[in-house]
Amino acid sequence: MVFFLGVDGGGTGCRAALADARGTIIGQGRAGPANINTDPDEARRNILAAATEAIAGTRARLQGLRVAMGLAGANVSGTVSRLCETGLPFAECHIVTDAVTAARGALGPDDGIVAAIGTGSVFAIQRDGVIRQYGGRGFVLGDEGSGAVLGRTLLAEALRAEDGFVPMSPLLAEILGEFGGGGAIIAFSLSARPADFAALAPRIVGSDDMAARRIFDQATNELRGILITLLAGRNLPVVFVGGLGATYAARMEGMEIRAPRGSALDGAVQMALGLRGH
């Protein structure tokens, strides 16, 4: 019997779902981050851990699986080939970016725009069944509105407040106190990963602190500008997904916001099932 595995791997975690030939989900697994650009070795371990958990108690074996994976970092040159060179045990494996699986899951066959905002961020447009990705260029060069960028901005504002460049707020003072001052924040930043910065995002979202409001308003305006550019005057629905998706969706007045049909993991499973004829 042939089994199909969908994998959704991002900067915070990795999920896998096992489907039988009828498309029925018969097993699921979870593991840690799976960004194949940030830490490819960690990503591989977590992909295999999630896959192993998903097949536990079934007749499926890793070596017989047909797999579709939507992975953060898959749009960076060389990352997919390097992952494949490690010798993934699957019978067949199709790897795309997490934006593609997010769009497939969120939109189904419909045209529209997907904004996936979590630890990182990425956007996709689906028209006539063709998906095109925008953004998703990583924490250093992009990931607008993401949890990682929000957290990094919060720390940067705390340093600026310590220097007297911006007003000190209760939240900024709290952050400085928790870290032990600006020097400790700088030391943290030298080794912190995107997920470490993203852990600070909940301190901003929904906060009444003046610095938090300023940071979140700026991020919202930046995302609104991106979506207006992608819409280009067309009447397309916008679907937000990811950990911060619903929060941003509630702030996008004047746009047709739709709830997602399904998740990025659903999209990955759909793509895996499409491998049945290969």
Mapped onto helix, strand or coil, the DSSP state of residue 68 is strand
Mean pLDDT of successive 10-residue segments in the chain (278 residues)?
91 91 93 88 92 93 92 85 83 88 87 91 87 84 92 97 96 96 95 92 93 96 94 90 91 90 91 76
pLDDT, position 277 = 56
Q: Would you state the structure tokens that stand for residue 73, as one six-digit string?
A: 């970092």
pLDDT, position 88 = 85
Task: Kindly report the CATH number that applies to the domain delimited by 3-108+261-277.
Answer: 3.30.420.40
Q: Where are the CATH 3.30.420.40 domain residues in the chain?
A: 3-108+261-277, 138-258
**CA–CA separation, 88 vs 50, rounded Å?**
13
Q: Would you state the structure tokens that stand for residue 17, as one six-digit string?
A: 């779902």
pLDDT, position 38 = 80
Closest CA to 111 of 94, 130, 96: 130
- DSSP string for 12-55: S-EEEEEE-TT--EEEEEEES---TTT-HHHHHHHHHHHHHHHH
In CATH terms, the superfamily for domain 138-258 is ATPase, nucleotide binding domain (3.30.420.40)
State the pairing for strand pair 14-19/25-31: antiparallel
pLDDT, position 70 = 92
pLDDT, position 276 = 67
